Amino acid sequence: MKIKSATFVMSNSDVAKCPKEPIPEYAFIGRSNVGKSSLINMLTQRKSLAKTSGRPGKTQLINHFKINDEWFLVDLPGYGYARVSKSQKKTFQKFITNYFEKRLQLVSAFVLVDIRHEPQKIDMEFMQWLGENGIPFSIIFTKADKLKPNAIKQNIDIYKEKLLADVWEEMPNYFITSASKDIGKEELLDYIAQVNLELKNSR
């Protein structure tokens, strides 16, 4: 898939006010500072479509971007924000939960994980929550340019072992990416294109 157009549509914290168009929607979420905004900008080839920041917790609303006039890319607030108050955390978590539970247009979530770190409890718990609520998702390992191929394989094997030891019968679908090196871009966009095609053919 080639992205020809990527347009910011709206930001809000109320799922009821999200766009009404019945087109597929893909939500990107992860811990703060996992490289989500950089990945979105890499996928869309727009330098500042999603605002990047060295300060974790920059995304604090549900942000809708319309891609090729065919589907929505949704940039969600990170979980585990380092520098926001407890009341803000509760507010964010409430509307993130509402989004996943109520958004009918949602086709799949992408959970971003920094490949350099061992499995984090907060990521595992969030993936488990998605699974328990029947929400399809893929894992996106970010910052792959920071590791050598052997270390990437080793870290993914650790994730597999951890996920299969906990609640999963098989490893969820996953992608290896790097925003700075364009790694994983084609695979991820082709996957979305394939899912969109399947949805179109099933109507």
Instruction: Give the pLDDT score at 154.
Output: 97
- Beta carbons within 8 Å of 84's beta carbon, 6+ residues apart: 57, 60, 92
CA separation for the pair 60, 110 (Å, rounded): 17
CA separation for the pair 54, 164 (Å, rounded): 33
Task: Tell me if 79 is assigned to some domain.
Answer: yes
Instruction: Give the pLDDT score at 84.
Output: 52
Residues 157, 158, 163: CA angle, nearest 5 degrees: 95
By residue range, what is the domain housing residue 21? 6-201
CATH number of the domain that residue 168 is part of:
3.40.50.300
Task: Tell me if 1 is assigned to some domain.
Answer: no
Q: What are phi and psi of 111, to 5 degrees?
A: -95, 115
Instruction: Give the pLDDT score at 87.
Output: 62
Residues 105, 74, 191: CA angle, nearest 5 degrees: 75
Instruction: Give the pLDDT score at 57.
Output: 47
C-beta atoms surrounding 61 within 10 Å: 15
For 23-65, the three-class secondary structure string (H helix, E strand, C coil) is CCEEEEEEECCCCHHHHHHHHHCCCCCCCCCCCCCCCCCEEEE
Task: Tell me if 167 is assigned to some domain.
Answer: yes
Task: Tell me if 130 is assigned to some domain.
Answer: yes
Task: Tell me if 185 is assigned to some domain.
Answer: yes
Q: Domain count for the chain, please give it.
A: 1
Q: What are the strands, taking DSSP E only, across 76-154?
A: 106-114, 137-142
Task: Tell me if 157 is assigned to some domain.
Answer: yes
Q: Are strands 71-75 and 174-176 parallel, antiparallel or unpaired?
A: unpaired
Average pLDDT per block of 10 residues along the chain, 203 residues long: 93 91 96 90 86 52 94 87 56 79 96 96 90 95 97 96 89 96 97 96 86
Instruction: Give the pLDDT score at 95.
Output: 79
Instruction: Give the pLDDT score at 72.
Output: 98
pLDDT, tens digit, for every residue of 10-69?
998 889 999 999 999 999 999 888 999 999 999 998 877 776 544 444 457 899 999 999
Percent of the chain with pLDDT over 90: 71
Say what the pTM is.
0.90
CA separation for the pair 39, 44 (Å, rounded): 9
